[in-house]
Amino acid sequence: MILDSKIPAGPLAEKWTKHKFSSKLVNPANKRKYDVIVVGTGLAGASAAASLAELGYNVKAFCFQDSPRRAHSIAAQGGINAAKNYQNDGDSIYRLFYDTIKGGDYRAREGNVYRLAEVSVKIIDQCVAQGVPFAREYGGLLANRSFGGAQVSRTFYARGQTGQQLLLGAYSALSRQVANGKVKLFPRTEMMDVVVIDGQAKGIVTRNLITGAIETHAAHAVLLCTGGYGNVFFLSTNAMGSNVTAAWRAHKRGAFFANPCFTQIHPTCIPVSGDHQSKLTLMSESLRNDGRVWVPATTEIAEKLRKGQIKANDIKEEDRDYFLERKYPSFGNLVPRDVASRNAKYVCDEGRGVNETGEAVFLDFRDAIKRDTRKIIEQKYGNLFDMYKQITGEDPYEMPMMIYPAVHYTMGGLWVDYNLMTTVPGLYALGEANFSEHGANRLGASALMQGLADGYFVIPYTVGDYLAQLAPTKVDENHPEFARAKEEVKQGIERLLKINGNKPVDYFHKRLGKIMWDKCGMARTEAGLKEAKADIQALKKEFWSNVKVLGTNEELNQTLEKANRVADFLELGELMVDDALNRNESCGGHFREEYQTPDGEALRDDENFAYVAAWKYLGEGKEEELVKEELVFENVKLTQRSYK
């Protein structure tokens, strides 16, 4: 099988314009005859639902939270990139495109990434028009900052709550369409399956989380805007409810899953404090602009520190190893996320970690406070410092912060073509749920950009092109496929409720997370991955024989919700390991220890691995089939990323 990315021919800068023109249009009077389902109400889902409803389609929007405003996009702190070049510092659409391709370690499609950079400028206009209170300069114009090591200032922000403000903007647009009667909202409703009829997506099966009712919904197209799968690691910066279920069930219905092993580990998170830990908290990347990352120069000093015999401030300057500044003199503490994370792991593996668990490094503001005064640092990072103190009980103005990398974002996801359509016609994936624009590593402040680009400016065109080819007649919800899919969902739930084993769901989730983190995390080896595969298979077996899910389906049952999600994470985990085993190279967030340069940097193999690894589900217990989409680079020259 050959995967057709449907990238339009022609010069890079003209592809999207041409494509929009060649897309078919739905007659304005006919739009009301088409139904579209949007699952998930984060940046991608809310913006898509609102925009499609504005065009006149009938939209049903689903989310598992109690309100669309809770989606985890809300937690993004730093900002959103856009190639506005308001700062006159040399930014352009092409530069944002180039930075994104390079940052992704050359594992993304040129055509998609260029389009993303192109529409980025419109996103800011849209958000401002909605009343998003972006930061401004004294003259009243929008402020920008440089973010995540970018050489230009192209990041727009709203204090440390950019994701919140953008999501509330999209949520307000969505709310307006709910009021207009064009969007029907289904909060506390989880998608359990996709209904595929004659090879086309025609609806979904859902579970009402309050009553347990299993219901079907028919539509002409289904949009999955359900976020990433970072919670496969149990501990991550994702929300507790973030899950892969919608994407995974779509995968089992025929949607290929691409590059699942590409996960992003964020370097600046608050370290794990104990077994009770339920999630990890991100400290904004912006802290690395002023904080210096270090560990003790020797294991002996680190040992004393861990035993509490000395404090960080007792360690003399010459006994400190500012390892990022030492290894990467030109980028220093601002190296990209994957490089910063990996190096923190190395020094901790050497026994130089600084907290009780030995898995933490210092992020020190002593010199910045000395240089700029405490007041300035307070203005810049006050809320982050407060949050740190709230969680750890320590004052970062007095003591260096302790940080450690944590899973933050997943670049992999459902395979989509240029139209954001999966391999199942009529089924789309937007935002973090798809695999497309970030390659093997995402740049800071690009997730918000992609979610909104997909929802506001891409899908309204591409879904129209598909719908225009369908007859404007209602999808028949009485088709036997709806009943069959519904029955299968019911059986799956009954199966979970019947096990009545001895262990709570989290027991399995935590063990899965540990396997993934140890063997398919920041650094991976062939041997480790093979062990991980066997471990996951054994764990899966144990889960299905010994998990304890109390209560019934016909009530609010949070244990059942979790069990459903963990069952899917167990299957996804195995595929991630397969994908990591297959990719015999290191690139971006995927670091295979066997493939590194003499000085320990990621060693890509462009000759053999410049492709998207898309996986096809072949049935329960069967190995998935790998289908390759070769990546073609017509504009960018592939180089080794270097931040020395």
Partner 1 sequence: MKLTLKIWRQKNAADQGGFVTYVADHVSKDMSFLEMLDVLNDQLTEKGEDPVHFDHDCREGICGMCSLYINGKPHGPQQTTTCQLHMRSFSDGETITIEPWRAKAFPVVKDLVVNRSAFDRIIQAGGYVSVNTGGVPDANEIPISKTVADLAMDAAQCIGCGACVAACKNASAMLFTSAKVSQLALLPQGQVERKTRAEKMVAQMDAEGFGACTNTGACEAECPKGISITNIARMNREYFSAVVSSDNM
Q: Binding mask 241-260 vs partner 1 (x if CB under 8 A, - otherwise)?
A: x-------------------
The only residue of 30, 130, 525, 546 in contact with partner 1, by rule CB under 8 A: 130
Q: What is the distance between the alpha carbons of residues 594 and 581, in angstroms, rounded to a whole number?
A: 11
For residue 419, what are its two tokens?
A: 């139209």
Q: What is the distance between the alpha carbons of residues 287 and 292, in angstroms, rounded to a whole number?
A: 9
Q: Which stretch binds partner 1 (CB under 8 A): 10-18, 168-176, 218-226, 412-420?
A: 168-176
- Looking at the Cβ atoms of 266 and 327, the one nearer to partner 1 is 266
Q: What is the distance between the alpha carbons of residues 269 and 302, in angstroms, rounded to a whole number?
A: 20
178 makes contact with partner 1 (CB under 8 A): yes
Are 573 and 231 contacting, i.e. CB atoms less than 8 angstroms apart? no
Q: Which stretch binds partner 1 (CB under 8 A): 217-225, 391-399, 514-522, 588-596?
A: 391-399
Name residues contacting partner 1, limited to 580-619 (CB under 8 A): none
Are 12 and 145 contacting, i.e. CB atoms less than 8 angstroms apart? no
92 makes contact with partner 1 (CB under 8 A): no
- Looking at the Cβ atoms of 106 and 457, the one nearer to partner 1 is 457
Q: Which stretch binds partner 1 (CB under 8 A): 103-111, 285-293, 503-511, 579-587?
A: 503-511
Binding footprint of partner 1, residue count (CB under 8 A): 84
Q: What is the distance between the alpha carbons of residues 428 and 425, in angstroms, rounded to a whole number?
A: 8
- Looking at the Cβ atoms of 213 and 391, the one nearer to partner 1 is 391
- Looking at the Cβ atoms of 563 and 613, the one nearer to partner 1 is 563
- For residue 60, the 8-state DSSP code is E
The only residue of 19, 33, 60, 72 in contact with partner 1, by rule CB under 8 A: 72
- Looking at the Cβ atoms of 53 and 613, the one nearer to partner 1 is 53
The only residue of 28, 308, 393, 621 in contact with partner 1, by rule CB under 8 A: 393
282 makes contact with partner 1 (CB under 8 A): yes
The only residue of 57, 106, 134, 409 in contact with partner 1, by rule CB under 8 A: 134
The only residue of 9, 29, 90, 138 in contact with partner 1, by rule CB under 8 A: 138
State in angstroms the smallest separation of the CB of 273 from partner 1.
Answer: 4
- Looking at the Cβ atoms of 134 and 257, the one nearer to partner 1 is 134
- Burial category of 313 from C-beta neighbours within 10 Å (exposed 0-12, middle 13-18, buried 19 and up): exposed
Are 41 and 171 contacting, i.e. CB atoms less than 8 angstroms apart? yes
Catalytic residue among 109, 320, 337, 592, which? 337
Name residues contacting partner 1, limited to 438-497 (CB under 8 A): 456-457, 460
Name residues contacting partner 1, limited to 97-126 (CB under 8 A): 122, 124-126
Name residues contacting partner 1, limited to 312-371 (CB under 8 A): none
Are 362 and 354 contacting, i.e. CB atoms less than 8 angstroms apart? yes
- Burial category of 572 from C-beta neighbours within 10 Å (exposed 0-12, middle 13-18, buried 19 and up): buried
User: Is-catalytic flag, 641?
Assistant: no
Strand partners, 292: 364
Name residues contacting partner 1, limited to 181-240 (CB under 8 A): 185, 187, 210, 237, 239-240
- Find all residues with CB under 8 Å of 274, minimum gap 6, and list them: none
- Looking at the Cβ atoms of 387 and 627, the one nearer to partner 1 is 387
Q: Which stretch binds partner 1 (CB under 8 A): 27-35, 172-180, 572-580, 607-615?
A: 172-180
Containing 202, the helix (H) or strand (E) segment is: strand 200-208
Q: What is the distance between the alpha carbons of residues 287 and 334, in angstroms, rounded to a whole number?
A: 10
Q: What is the distance between the alpha carbons of residues 436 and 585, in angstroms, rounded to a whole number?
A: 20
Q: What is the distance between the alpha carbons of residues 55 and 512, in angstroms, rounded to a whole number?
A: 44
508 makes contact with partner 1 (CB under 8 A): no
- Looking at the Cβ atoms of 112 and 161, the one nearer to partner 1 is 161
- Looking at the Cβ atoms of 244 and 580, the one nearer to partner 1 is 244
State in angstroms the smallest separation of the CB of 402 from partner 1.
Answer: 13
> Which residue blocks in 256-411 are alpha helix, DSSP H?
299-306, 323-327, 337-347, 366-392
140 makes contact with partner 1 (CB under 8 A): yes
CA-nearest of 347, 155, 337, 361 to 270 is 361
Are 178 and 194 contacting, i.e. CB atoms less than 8 angstroms apart? no
The only residue of 1, 13, 25, 129 in contact with partner 1, by rule CB under 8 A: 129
- Find all residues with CB under 8 Å of 212, minimum gap 6, and list them: 552, 553, 554, 555, 557
For residue 452, what are its two tokens?
A: 């909104």
Strand partners, 429: 224
Q: Which stretch binds partner 1 (CB under 8 A): 174-182, 224-232, 327-335, 412-420?
A: 174-182
- For residue 331, the 8-state DSSP code is T
> Which residue blocks in 192-254 are alpha helix, DSSP H?
245-252
Q: Binding mask 24-63 vs partner 1 (x if CB under 8 A, - otherwise)?
A: -----------------------x--xx--x---------
Residue 58 identity (one-letter amino acid): N
> Which residue blocks in 500-557 are alpha helix, DSSP H?
505-519, 526-546
Are 434 and 414 contacting, i.e. CB atoms less than 8 angstroms apart? yes
- Looking at the Cβ atoms of 127 and 602, the one nearer to partner 1 is 127
Q: Binding mask 557-576 vs partner 1 (x if CB under 8 A, - otherwise)?
A: -xx-----------------
Would you please indicate which residues are annotated as catalytic (active-site) residues? 337
